[in-house]
Amino acid sequence: MSESEKPLVRQESWLIKVARTGLVAALYVVLTYLSSVFNLAFGPLQFRVSESLTLLPLIWGETVFGLTVGTLLSNLGSPYGIIDWVFGTLASFVALSAVRWIGKKGYSEWIAALAVSVVNALAVPFIILIGAMGLSSSSIGGVFVSSIYWSYAATIFIEEFCVVAFLGIPLIRTIKGRVLK
């Protein structure tokens, strides 16, 4: 390979990552929208098919950014408003970063699915309850001792784990087996 060809190869790799990031963000938004058609994207009952994409950082680090942007864009339609825009997006970034770290350490997809589920189980009930009660120091303190919070947390954990484990893990294994060969 001549010297003049090397920058082209680097640029192509960069372009592929940018394209993948944008595609993943758009796919997350579309899949979340489809879940919202069935009233399953926001609230204590959530089966966001888009969450199956949250294991992509196990193989492609740039998807942390794409999925975070996709989450923000999806949450613009949330009934919880700015609380969900900020804290929902932040929770996704934390979960996705954990997935990336888990992937770098070589841990299994099941550990990554648990990480995503735990982060969402802790964050989503907070967003729902603060969105419903309003943001004040007394409401924030009361959320975590509320039995409603913990019942929502358990429900969200189960729902999230089902989507991520039973849709996300087969997706990742398919990509590893067919696309990355």
- Which residues, given as ranges, of the chain have pLDDT below 50? 8-10
Which positions ≥6 away from 38 have C-beta within 8 Å?
A: none
What pLDDT is stored for residue 113 in this prediction? 98
Parent domain of 135:
6-37+49-179
Judge whether 44 lies within some domain. no
- The predicted structure's pLDDT at residue 136: 57
Number of H helices, E strands in the chain: 8, 0
Q: Give the total number of structural domains in the chain.
A: 1
The reply to whether 127 falls in a domain is yes
**Among residues 54, 46, 45, which one has the least CA distance to residue 27?**
54
Residue 1: inside a domain:
no
